[in-house]
């Protein structure tokens, strides 16, 4: 049900945006067909062969941008925002995924403070973490920070802990005989 409402709103918004009528011509632009005004020729905008055109792009030197491009850019921005909301919803609905994402975000923040600050933070945090998957993510980050601070033995200790974890392992496939 949570995904139906954003999807329905997206379809409604996109269809309303695309189904709009084109803006009516303003005063002075004339509403006649092509060729009604001598200064307005048929064909695409841009430099003309007979000295016309008024410079690069559209009138006044502005780059030509079709009106539909602005609308499509707005629709693309809206679509990207809705995808972001959907990803955050899926991420936050699973505690393990949210925990791993928090470890990664904390590591990004702590990089600016230096390796020692990150090592201290994750070392203090590790005993409080109950989820095995999140513990593994913390140990991987610790191993990376130990390696970056030239403490290879401590990095190997974290990796050894990951390899010999008491967590249930996926059994290896038996070879076919």
Q: Where are the domains of the chain?
A: 1-13+71-93, 95-163
Residues 71, 91: Cα–Cα separation, whole Å:
30
Contacts of 57 (CB under 8 A, 6+ apart): 45, 46, 63, 64
Lookup: tokens for 19: 């189904």
Residues 155, 162: Cα–Cα separation, whole Å:
11
Residues 174, 138: Cα–Cα separation, whole Å:
32
Contacts of 106 (CB under 8 A, 6+ apart): 121, 122, 141
| pLDDT at site 28 | 55
Write the CA distances from 75 to 3, 17, 105, 153, 157, integer angstroms. Answer: 19, 8, 29, 52, 50
Overall pTM surpassing 0.75 (yes/no): no
Total residues belonging to the chain:
177
Could you list the pLDDT tens digit for every one of the 177 residues in the chain? 667 677 766 766 666 667 666 666 665 555 555 555 555 555 566 555 544 444 555 556 666 666 777 888 888 888 898 888 888 888 778 889 889 999 999 999 999 999 999 999 999 999 999 999 999 999 999 999 999 999 999 999 999 999 987 544 444 445 555
Are 64 and 58 in contact by the 8 Å Cβ rule? The answer is yes
Write the CA distances from 83 to 9, 25, 75, 89, integer angstroms. Answer: 13, 36, 12, 10
Residues 40, 157: Cα–Cα separation, whole Å:
77
167-173-177 Cα angle (round to 5): 150
């Amino acid at each position: 049900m949570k995904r139906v409402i954003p999807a329905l709103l997206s379809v409604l918004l996109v269809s309303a945006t695309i189904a709009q009528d084109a803006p009516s011509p303003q005063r002075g632009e004339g509403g006649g067909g092509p060729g009604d005004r001598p200064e307005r020729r048929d064909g695409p905008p841009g430099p003309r062969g007979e000295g016309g055109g008024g410079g690069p792009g559209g009138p006044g030197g502005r780059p030509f941008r079709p009106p539909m491009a602005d609308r499509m850019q707005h629709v693309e921005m809206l679509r990207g925002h809705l995808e972001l909301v959907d990803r955050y919803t899926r991420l936050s609905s699973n505690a393990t995924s949210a925990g791993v994402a928090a470890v990664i975000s904390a590591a990004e923040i702590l990089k600016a403070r230096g390796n020692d600050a990150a090592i201290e933070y994750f070392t203090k945090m590790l005993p409080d973490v109950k989820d095995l998957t999140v513990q593994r993510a913390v140990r991987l980050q610790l191993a990376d920070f130990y390696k970056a601070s030239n403490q290879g033995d401590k990095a190997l200790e974290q990796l050894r802990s990951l390899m010999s974890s008491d967590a249930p392992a996926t059994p290896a496939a038996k070879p076919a005989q």
